[in-house]
Structure 1
Amino acid sequence: MQQQKFLQLIDKYLNGEASAEEEQLLLNFFESFQSDSEWDESALGIKKQLEDKMLNRLQQAVQKSKSQSHPKMGRLFTLRNIAAAIALLAVIGVGGYYYILKPAKQLLASKNKSAVKHDVNPGNNKAILTLENGEQVILDSARIGTLAKKGKISINKTKDGQLVYTATHEDNATANDPIVYNTISTPKGGQYQVILPDGTRVWLNAASSLKFPTAFTGNQRRVELLGEAYFEVTKNALKPFTVKVNDMQVKVLGTHFNIMAYSDEIAMKTTLLEGSVQLNRGGAGNLLKPGQQGVVKGNNIQVMDVDVDAAIAWKNGFFEFKRASLQDIMKQLSRWYDTEVVYEGKIPDDEFVGKIERNVKLSQVLRILELNHVHFKIENKKITVTP
């Protein structure tokens, strides 16, 4: 099969126009794709270049589906196992989802359910608010309405799981006013949204915390973050907004951005959706434009163009992976499902691309991963990963 003919065939398949014979031809080709010894470079070109073209076709199909109803389970595939990629592209059927190819559906149905002894529900809205006097309020069980009121500050919990700070006469606050700090913390398996006194909205991902003043006095607005959060900062040219993350500072006037800075990640990532932000670390500084991500690793700040939808997929209720390793995926699952992850044996170094909803049980996510030749066992909130 020539390279151009193959790419045309995969396009037909993704558009639902391939015949049964063409689907079988495609699967036969994918099987040969896995073996370097059977690769005909004179006809098909350099294997890595074709793989990149295939990935581009598949990513376009995923992007196209964003404007449609989303399947409950999602679709996920590895770059090395392209046969699984095609099997796992999901389309909407009446009343739910289905896999395009019967072999994948049969494989999913035949999984040994005994591997799941204790399934795990997805995370939800839960957090702890720590007041300036050390008092803690468990937000998921706290009553709806006013939680605390002190001076000019009123703290309220809404019925849709938001924590709202309301400050009266904040414009009259001065730098001489005492600064009172609160901290909102989400556990593993939790998320929460807080509206700060200036109207800035912050979405906290699992295992994260935000320390902030109950009123922004003086000529600056400054908060501290651990973990991951998405910010929609209220514009105020007289009071720049600064997020301190370890030894990095993100400075803005008014903008939308995401910061991912978990302690178990090798890099801190700031992704800009709207406006502009200035990243500062030590003597280094970089200005981000919309659609860019600043990656801080060691003493370096690297700026690159990225898919911003993937960076904030968690906020919108999805896991979205772009060439993610299995270990990267398991870190996200561990935080969201509040589980421990252990590895046994040699784990494949495949890279995964795909999108899965975050509101399904853990076993459903793992079954999708298992179609890519990885195996899991869930017991007492511990995931054991094996080849």
Structure 2
Amino acid sequence: MVQKQEFLQLIDKYLTGQTTAAEKEQLLNFFESFQGDADEWDETVLGVKQELEDRMLGNIRQAIAEPVSNKSPKVVGLHFFRNVAAAVILLAVSGTAVYHWYHKHDQQQLTAQNKAVVKHDVDPGDNRAILTLANGTKLILDSAKIGLLSQTGNISVNKISDGQVVYSADKDQQNGPVAYNSISTPVGGQYQVVLPDGSKVWLNSASSLKFPTAFTGNEREVELTGEGYFEVARNKAKPFNVKVKDINVSVLGTHFNIMAYNDEAAVKTTLLEGLVRLTHGNVSGTLKPGQQGVINDKGIKIIDVDTDEAVAWKNGFFDFERVNIQDIMKQLSRWYGTEVIYEGKIPDDEFVGKIRRDVKLSQVLHILELSHVRFRIENKKIIVTP
């Protein structure tokens, strides 16, 4: 066992980035030895355990964020906290799913390509959506050709690339009845739409957006289900409102993400730029950049967050910030179109780090399995076992 003085020296070396692989494993094993013996941790000698863990976690986040050479694998991390404690695994993932890991092993390299073929593997999601026009016509966007999709009066809809549609309308169009379109993504789909005012919306899987084909009147209003990232075109004369269930998100011009799936306990609005006002019943709150509004039946709670985690899906990643296995499985289920079944005790461990969203399901599960969780895939079902 590492002696206390030696442990303190290892902590200093770790926080300054000077530990070797062997010393890092020694340090993490020492942390893990205290998981069931919290009373044995002497804070007068070793310091406050939670503070040390938070400092170590900060180093991990910094390492993940550091840019790497294009000649090297794209390095991202998945770090495992047993009962919110020691990081016992360090992983790196490249576009071809190459993993580096530590924990009771020498440093080694594993490639998912060397694994046996998974019988019931699942491909990742892709750009898929259905556009429903005001007359009820449904256009399958993933199979539609690039070019003009619809023309109604002065309003045109064009598919300009795989994964993006753009609405164009006369800016002076103020009269006539308001017509509504909607775009919806299935489980395992995502899509981007540019609205008539130039605002951009990215939809995550199992989501939908209802919007007018031209913004008339004094406000711009859309309705969202699921999850969407918004870059709103600035227009002081016309506030932009997003209706989410019984919640209103009001902005002038800003970048924000709304996560409002029905199987989540709260609606979360995360602000990257600008200013956002949240209204839920008689309660309201204002977000500043770097803040998240968490809304549930208890009201509105505003917290400081890492905004990268909230929009990682838009940038092609799963980003876990001390997330439990149930929440991870929700994300995987939506993106890979799978059902999740738990057998036995559900692990209460938490995870920190990133995994690319463009790899097969078996590769993601393989990373998680290195953290003492077991899975098998059967007919698009993920079975989680102790």
Distance 1:370 1:84 in 2: 17
The count of aligned residue pairs is 379
Change (3 A) 1:9 1:245: same
Distance 2:68 2:112 in 1: 32
| Alpha carbons 1:32, 1:39 under 8 Å: kept | no
Residue 23 (structure 1) shift: 4.4
Choose which of 72, 77, 80 in structure 2 pairs with 1:78.
80
- 1:256 and 2:255 are equivalent in the alignment: yes
Superposition RMSD on alpha carbons, in Å? Answer: 2.9
Residue 304 (structure 1) shift: 1.0
Residue 238 (structure 1) shift: 1.1
Distance 1:275 1:166 in 2: 25
- 1:353 and 2:357 are equivalent in the alignment: no
Distance 2:94 2:182 in 1: 42
Change (3 A) 1:107 1:370: farther
Corresponding residue SS for 1:314: helix
| Alpha carbons 2:82, 2:349 under 8 Å: kept | yes
Change (3 A) 1:331 1:71: farther
Distance 1:104 1:326 in 2: 26
- 1:162 and 2:164 are equivalent in the alignment: yes
| Alpha carbons 1:9, 1:22 under 8 Å: kept | no
Residue 38 (structure 1) shift: 8.8
Paired residue type of 1:5: Q
Residue 371 (structure 1) shift: 1.1
Higher helix content, 1 or 2? 1
- Cα deviation digits, residues 46-86 of structure 1 (max 9, x gap): 433333333233223223x3566685684212222799835
Identity between Structure 1 and Structure 2 (%): 60
**Which residue does the alignment assign to 2:9?**
5
Distance 2:253 2:33 in 1: 52
Corresponding residue SS for 2:201: strand
User: Which aligned pairs between 1:1-387 and structure 2 lie closer than 5 A?
Assistant: 1-2=4-5, 4-11=8-15, 15=17, 17-19=18-20, 22-23=23-24, 25-26=26-27, 28-36=29-37, 39-41=40-42, 42-63=44-65, 65-66=66-67, 71=73, 74-80=76-82, 85-90=87-92, 97-101=98-102, 103=105, 116-168=118-170, 170-174=171-175, 177-387=176-386
Paired residue type of 1:257: F
Residue 152 (structure 1) shift: 1.0
- Cα deviation digits, residues 180-199 of structure 1 (max 9, x gap): 00010000100000000010
Residue 30 (structure 1) shift: 4.2
Paired residue type of 1:208: S
Residue 10 (structure 1) shift: 2.2
Distance 2:63 2:173 in 1: 53
Paired residue type of 1:120: V
Change (3 A) 1:256 1:312: same
Corresponding residue SS for 2:238: coil
Residue 21 (structure 1) shift: 5.1
User: Which moves more between the two structures, 193-202 or 51-60?
Assistant: 51-60
Change (3 A) 1:128 1:28: closer
Paired residue type of 2:282: G
Paired residue type of 1:349: D
Residue 274 (structure 1) shift: 0.8
Residue 350 (structure 1) shift: 1.1
Paired residue type of 1:232: E
Residue 277 (structure 1) shift: 0.9
Q: Tell me, which stretches of 5 or more residues in structure 1 are unaligned? A: none
User: Which moves more between the two structures, 218-227 or 106-115?
Assistant: 106-115
| Alpha carbons 1:73, 1:356 under 8 Å: kept | no
Residue 297 (structure 1) shift: 1.2
Paired residue type of 1:77: H
Corresponding residue SS for 1:258: strand
